[in-house]
Amino acid sequence: MTVGVCYFPEHWPRERWETDAAQMAEAGIEYVRMAEFSWAVLEPEPGSYDFEWLDDAVEILADHGLKVVLCTPTATPPKWLVDRHPEILQADPDGTPRRFGSRRHYCFNSPVYRQETRRIVSKLAEHYADVDAVVGWQTDNEFGCHHTVRCYCEDCAAAFSEWLRATYDDIDDLNEKWGTTFWSQRYRSFEAVDPPRPTPAEHHPSHLLDYHRFASDSVVDYNRLHADILRDHDDWFVAHNFMGDFETLDTHAVADDLDLVTWDSYPTGFVQDRRTGTPSMDELRAGDPDQVGMNHDLYRGTNDAPFWVMEQQPGDVNWPPHCPQPGEGAMRLWAHHATGHGADAVLYFRWRRCREGQEQYHAGLRKQDGSADRGYRDATDVAADLSDVDSDHVDAPVALLHDYDDWWAVSAQPHAPEFDYWEHARTYYRALRARGVQVDVVHPETDLSDYAAVVAPSLHLADDERASHLREFVASGGELLLGARSGAKDPYNKLPDELAPGAFADLAGVRVDQHESFPADVDLSVAVDGGRAADGNGDAYAVSVWSEWLDPAPETETLATHTTDLADGTPAVTRNVTGDGSTVYCGVWPGADLADELVSGLLSRAGVETTHRLPDGVRVNERDGLTWVSNFTSDPVSVDAPADATFVVGDETLDGFDAAVVESAPADLELGTDD
Ligand code: GLA
C-alpha cells in the first residue's frame, strides 16, 4: 500500500534533481516512473546513445531510498527515425499518414519499427540489468491512446491478410463464416481483403470485427516483443499502463504477457469525455466512483497478481473539455479508493507542472516554480495514511463478464446511437457497487467456480462452448444474470439459426421474439410482479433505449412485463431454474431502480451479504477484512461502525471528498448522508 510519482528529470536542470528526490522521499513516495518519452534524449543521433543522464537520475533517486520503474521509450520515435523511415508512420483509413509532431505515430505492424524497437529495448535492458534500484519496466505508454490501435497503412494491410490466413482454413471458409454473398462481397484470396477503408455505406460487420481483432492482436504481439526482451535480461517486473473505459484494445490478452497490470486514472476528465450525461458539480470535482471503480476492477482481474494505478490525476488536467480544480482532498481520496479496489501502489502523474510542450496546462504535485501544489499535500497525506496499512488481495463474490469482442461487435452495429456496450455494462456494475459488494470484471472464459453470482450484461457473441461454461456454473448452484443482446450473434458477428439468446436460450428458458430501440429520452417502462406503469402503483420501473419482447418457455417465470404501448403485457425479464441455480434474462436496458431490484434479488439468492442501497458518490470496498469508505461528494458522510471496530484511517465522520478505513465488513456499517 504505497504511493509513487511519474518524473521527467530530462525536463529540468540536473542541479534540481537532488531537491526533487529529497522532496519525494519527504512525501513518503516509494516508486518513481521515468523515461517513457525520452528516446530522442537517450539516442540523440542514430546509433549514438546517451544514458548518462538517466543513470544519474536513477542513482540520485536510489540514494534517497526510492525505487525506479523505467519505461521503454517507444511511444515517441524520434524525428531522425521518422525521416529515415517514414513508412513506420500510422495511416488513417483514407491513407493519410499520422505524422510526427505529437506522439504514438508509429505502426505496430511496421517491420522496420519492430526492428528499431528490438534495438532500443535491448540496449536499455542490457544497460540497467545490474542496477538494483530499477525494479520494473513499463512497456511503451498507453497503447492505443489517441485512437492508435487501429491503423490502416500498407504494412497493416499485408499483416491483416496474414492474420486472416492464420485464422481461416481457406478463403472459402472466410466467405462462409463472414457471409459474403450479401452485396456481392465474396473474396477470391486473403490478399484481396483490404482493411476497412472509406466506403459509401457501412462496412460488413464480420469484416469490421475481424479487423478490430487483428488490430488488437497486433498490439498484443508488439507488447510481447518488449516483454520477452526485458525478461531475457533480468527478473524485474514487466507492466503496462492501460487506459480508462478503453474500447479498442483487448487488455485481457495484453495482460497475459505482463507481471503487473496498471492503468491511468483521471476521474474529472473521464466524467466529461467518456460517459453520457452531464456531470454534476461534485463529479466535476472528483469524478464518478463507479466509472473509475469499474476500471480498477477490470485491471485487477482475478489473478493474484497485484495491480497499480500507474498514473493518478494530480490536480487539474489539460485534456478534457473543461478543467476544474479537483475537490479539496480528492487526490488523497482517489488513492484510497484505488487501494480499496485492490491497488498496491498509486503513482501520481506528474511530479512537476511542465513548462514546455503540449501539457503545460496539466498540474503536477509541484508547481512549475517548484513549490508544493495541492496534490503534493494530498499525496503526502495518503502516503502517511497507507504506510501502516497492509492488506491482501480483494476477494470478490461476484463476477461481471466482459469480452472485448462483444464490445466491438455491438459497436459495429449498435442499432441505436445510444447503445454503448460499456455504459450498458456499467448500469449493472453501478447497481452492484451501490450494494457494497466487490466485483471482478473478467473474461467470460474465467473459472467461475469461486463466484456466488455472475452478471453478464451483454454476452453478444455466443457459441456452445461459452454456453456450456455458464450452464456448468448455474448447474452447480451459481446465480446468473444475463443482459439484453446476449447470444444474439455467432462468434463471426452473424445471426445464428436459432433466435436470441441463441446458445444461451435453453439456460435462460426464453426466446427473444422481437427487439426494438428508442432515443434515450423516450420513456419506457416495465412492471415487476404484475404492477402497471399507468396505475402509478410503484411497481413500474423506467427502462430505456433497448427493449426485447420475450417468449418464455412454460416453466420459466416472468419477473417483469413491458408497459409501453405496443409491447404492453409482453414479458421483459424472466427467470429460469436449472440444476441448483437460476438464470435471470433481462431484455431491456434497466434504469437504476430496476437494475437494483434485479441485482438485489440475484445477490440475496446467491447468499452474498450487501449493504443498504448506498447513495451515488458514496462507496465501500472490502479488502482483506478492512473496509474503505470513499466519499466522492462534497457533503459529509457519517459511518456508524460496530463498537469494537477500529478506524485505521479517519473516523466516524467523513468530510466532503474524504476517505476512511475501518476494520469491519461493509454490511456491518451504517452510512449516513444528509439525503
Ligand atoms: C496520459 C498519458 C500521459 C499524460 C497524461 C495527461 O495518461 O499517459 O503521458 O499525457 O495522460 O493526463
Question: For position 441, which CATH number holds?
Answer: 3.40.50.880
How many A from CA of 327 to the centre of ligand 1?
20
Buried b (16+ CB within 10 A) or exposed e, 29-46: bbbbbbbbbbbbbbbeee
Say if CB 346 and CB 4 are below 8 A apart.
yes
Same domain, 639 and 589: no
Instruction: Give 271: exposed, middle or buried? Use CB within 10 Å, 0-12, 13-18, 19+.
Output: buried
Same domain, 463 and 541: yes
Mean pLDDT to the nearest integer, 32-42: 98
* 441 — pLDDT class (breaks 50, 70, 90): very high
Same domain, 314 and 373: yes
Same domain, 644 and 586: no
Sole residue written with cell 461493509? 666
> Is residue 265 within 6 Å of ligand 1 at its C-beta?
no
Q: In what order do the strands lie in the sheet with 637-640?
A: 653-654, 637-640, 670-672
List all residues 6 or more positions away from 457 whose beta carbon is below 8 Å from its beta carbon: 400, 401, 402, 424, 425, 427, 428, 483
Mean pLDDT to the nearest integer, 215-220: 98
Tell me, yes or no, whether 454 lies in a domain.
yes
How many A from CA of 265 to the centre of ligand 1?
9
Tell me, yes or no, whether 203 lies in a domain.
no
Same domain, 583 and 657: no
Residue at which a domain ends, from 386, 419, 443 = 386
> Is residue 142 within 6 Å of ligand 1 at its C-beta?
yes
Average pLDDT taken over every residue of the chain: 96
pLDDT by residue (tens digit) across 491-508? Answer: 999 999 999 999 999 999
pLDDT at 631 over 90: yes
How many A from CA of 289 to the centre of ligand 1?
20
Beta-carbon-side half-sphere exposure of residue 371 (alpha carbons within 13 Å): 2
Mean pLDDT to the nearest integer, 543-572: 96
Q: Which three cell numbers stand for residue 418?
A: 445510444
Tell me, yes or no, whether 510 lies in a domain.
yes
Q: CA 646 to CA 625: how far, in whole Å?
A: 11
Mutate to test the pocket of ligand 1, among 33, 272, 292, 311 (most ligand atoms within 8 A of CB): 311
Tell me, yes or no, whether 644 lies in a domain.
yes
DSSP 12: S
Catalytic residue among 142, 283, 423, 548: 142
Same domain, 331 and 403: no
> Is residue 362 within 6 Å of ligand 1 at its C-beta?
yes
Tell me, yes or no, whether 509 lies in a domain.
yes
Q: pTM of the full predicted structure?
A: 0.97
Q: Tell me which residue range forms the domain holding 629.
A: 618-673
pLDDT score recorded for residue 533: 40
Tell me, yes or no, whether 179 lies in a domain.
no
Residue at which a domain ends, from 386, 413, 441 = 386
Same domain, 428 and 299: no
Q: CA 180 to CA 64: how far, in whole Å?
A: 63
pLDDT score recorded for residue 304: 61
pLDDT score recorded for residue 42: 98
- Is it true that the peptide bond before 213 is cis, omega within 30 degrees of 0? no
3-state SS of 514-539?
A: EEEECCCCCCEEEEECCCCHHHCCCC
pLDDT score recorded for residue 305: 65
Q: CA 157 to CA 194: how far, in whole Å?
A: 6
Same domain, 44 and 141: yes
> Is residue 140 within 6 Å of ligand 1 at its C-beta?
no
Nearest CA to ligand 1 atom 2: 142
Catalytic residue among 36, 116, 283, 311: 311
CATH number for position 81 = 3.20.20.80
How many A from CA of 83 to the centre of ligand 1?
26
pLDDT by residue (tens digit) across 107-162? Answer: 999 999 999 999 999 999 999 999 999 999 999 999 999 999 999 999 999 999 99
DSSP 145: T
**Helix, coil or strand: residue 645:** coil
pLDDT at 529 over 90: no
Give catalytic status of residue 311 as yes or no: yes
Number of domains forming the structure of the chain: 3
Residue at which a domain ends, from 386, 409, 429 = 386
Same domain, 531 and 471: yes
Say if CB 176 and CB 130 are below 8 A apart.
no
Same domain, 116 and 254: yes
Q: CA 99 to CA 387: how far, in whole Å?
A: 45
Give catalytic status of residue 142 as yes or no: yes
pLDDT by residue (tens digit) across 237-253? Answer: 999 999 999 999 999 99
> Is residue 316 within 6 Å of ligand 1 at its C-beta?
no
pLDDT by residue (tens digit) across 4-27? Answer: 999 999 999 999 999 999 999 999
Same domain, 595 and 623: no
Q: CA 602 to CA 452: how far, in whole Å?
A: 9
* 535 — pLDDT class (breaks 50, 70, 90): very low
- Bridge pairing between strands 510-517 and 540-552: antiparallel
Same domain, 472 and 601: yes
Q: CA 519 to CA 233: how far, in whole Å?
A: 55
pLDDT score recorded for residue 392: 87
Q: Which residue has the higher pLDDT, 1 or 298?
A: 298
How many A from CA of 63 to the centre of ligand 1?
28
Ligand 1 atom closest to residue 269's alpha carbon, by position in its atom list:
12
Tell me, yes or no, whether 404 lies in a domain.
yes
Tell me, yes or no, whether 543 lies in a domain.
yes
